């Protein structure tokens, strides 16, 4: 059973400047359903949290960057805001906000500040005191998997348990995967690969199996991160730490999702535009407006 979730949300988001100069990219809005079946917008990090909450997870550690408190402020319940919305007759917006706050009130949320942008791997490492000696889920705060049944977490956790893995993560087939970590491995059952090699953003990808930033780890990942040297841009890459697990002979698996799943990612202007299109088509098409 996995209980604890790490959500790194401390990246500078420089590819989305100037929109992200003063706000975390994870706070950029995407389309969503409202409580009355209409259209609304919400920060992508809220979508991630709500999906994980609906999957039954209740213990969260957010890694946030220095000087950008927007995520922490947004995740602090504000009863006055709800009352003001109700006073203005905006009952749907008030109901949506109350639903979000109810999820927060039934969760344990811990905040960790990453003083310097030292990479995704470093952000995960900073959550070690929160995780301690437990298994954990790591889920990026700026991306998600969208499908009709939203069962990708079930598939990921199922493979992790079934193969008694030390690490498992989601992969998708991407036409041009050079901006992702890439997996090479051997298929051990339909859609599940025993990983032989992972490479962060290779110039010439050996496969088109791209790592989505959704992982389950045994706490040995923290030992691997501590022994991982900074890579590209002087940052500690989680992908390099995963390769250490492979090199140590530990069990690492990739769970490939089929074309019925779509990846929502806001890491660049092009991807953000695609995320807006995807969230609109998945959540709002045909909604009452």
Q: DSSP string spanning the chain?
A: ---EEEEEE----GGGTTTTSSS-GGG-EEEEE-TTSBEEEEEHHHHHHHHHHHTT--EEEEEEETT--HHHHHTS--HHHHHHHHHTT-HHHHHHHHHHHHHHHTSEEEEEEESS---HHHHHHTTHHHHTTS-EEEE-TTEEEE-SS--HHHHHHHHHHHTT-SEEEEEEE-SSGGGSEEEEEEEEETTEEEEEEEEES-SS-SSSEEEEEEEEE-THHHHHHHTPPP-GGG---HHHHHHHHHHTT--EEEEE--TT-EEEE-SSHHHHHHHHHHHIIIIITT-B-
Of 278, 265, 274, nearest to 48 by C-alpha is: 265
The CATH number of whichever domain residue 167 belongs to comes to 3.90.550.10
Positions in the chain whose pLDDT score sits under 70: 148, 285-289
Q: Is 247 part of a structural domain of the chain?
A: yes
Q: Is 278 part of a structural domain of the chain?
A: no
Asked if residue 99 and residue 51 are part of one domain, the reply reads yes
pLDDT at residue 117, as a whole number: 86
Asked if residue 61 and residue 35 are part of one domain, the reply reads yes
Asked if residue 222 and residue 166 are part of one domain, the reply reads yes
Asked if residue 249 and residue 211 are part of one domain, the reply reads yes
Q: Is 283 part of a structural domain of the chain?
A: no
DSSP symbol at 254: E
Percent of the chain with pLDDT over 90: 81
Asked if residue 102 and residue 156 are part of one domain, the reply reads no
Judged by phi (left if over 0) then psi (alpha if -120 to 50, else beta), residue 169 lies in beta
Q: Is 127 part of a structural domain of the chain?
A: yes
Asked if residue 163 and residue 137 are part of one domain, the reply reads no
Structural domains counted in the chain: 2
Asked if residue 249 and residue 133 are part of one domain, the reply reads no
Cβ(44)–Cβ(141) below 8 Å: yes
Cβ(154)–Cβ(145) below 8 Å: no
Cβ(184)–Cβ(207) below 8 Å: yes
Q: Is 118 part of a structural domain of the chain?
A: yes
Q: Residue 49 sits in which domain range? A: 1-142
Cβ(100)–Cβ(218) below 8 Å: no
Q: Which two tokens stand for residue 97?
A: 């906000």
CA atoms within 13 A on the CB side of 108: 9
Q: Which two tokens stand for residue 207?
A: 């496969």
pLDDT at residue 287, as a whole number: 52
User: Which residues, at least 6 apart from 271, have a Cβ–Cβ distance to it below 8 Å?
Assistant: 265
Q: Is 266 part of a structural domain of the chain?
A: no
pLDDT at residue 288, as a whole number: 44
């Amino acid at each position: 059973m996995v209980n604890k979730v790490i959500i790194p949300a401390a990246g500078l988001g420089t590819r989305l400047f100037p929109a992200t100069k003063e706000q975390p990219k994870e706070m950029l809005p995407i389309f969503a359903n409202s409580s009355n079946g209409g259209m609304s917008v919400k920060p992508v990090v809220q979508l991630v949290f709500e999906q994980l909450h609906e999957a039954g997870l209740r213990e969260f550690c957010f890694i946030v960057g220095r000087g950008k408190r927007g995520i922490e402020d947004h995740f602090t319940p504000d009863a006055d805001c709800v009352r003001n919305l109700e006073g203005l007759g905006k009952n749907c917006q008030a109901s949506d906000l109350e639903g979000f706050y109810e999820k927060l009130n039934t969760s344990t949320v811990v905040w960790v500040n990453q003083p310097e942008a030292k990479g995704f791997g470093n952000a995960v490492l900073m959550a070690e005191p929160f995780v301690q000696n437990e298994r954990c889920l790591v889920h990026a705060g700026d991306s998600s998997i969208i499908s009709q049944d939203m069962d990708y977490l079930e598939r990921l956790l199922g493979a992790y348990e079934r193969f008694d893995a030390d690490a498992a993560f989601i992969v998708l087939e991407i036409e041009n995967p050079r901006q992702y970590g890439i997996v090479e491995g051997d298929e051990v059952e339909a859609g599940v690969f025993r990983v032989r090699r992972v490479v962060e953003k290779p110039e010439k990808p050996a496969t088109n199996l791209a790592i989505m930033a959704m992982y389950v780890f045994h706490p040995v990942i923290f030992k691997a991160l501590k022994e991982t040297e900074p890579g590209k841009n002087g940052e500690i890459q989680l992908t390099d730490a995963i390769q250490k697990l492979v090199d140590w002979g530990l069990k690492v698996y990739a769970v490939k999702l089929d074309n019925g799943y779509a990846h929502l990612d806001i890491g660049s202007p092009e991807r953000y535009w695609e995320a807006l299109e995807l969230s609109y088509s998945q959540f709002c098409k045909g909604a009452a407006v």
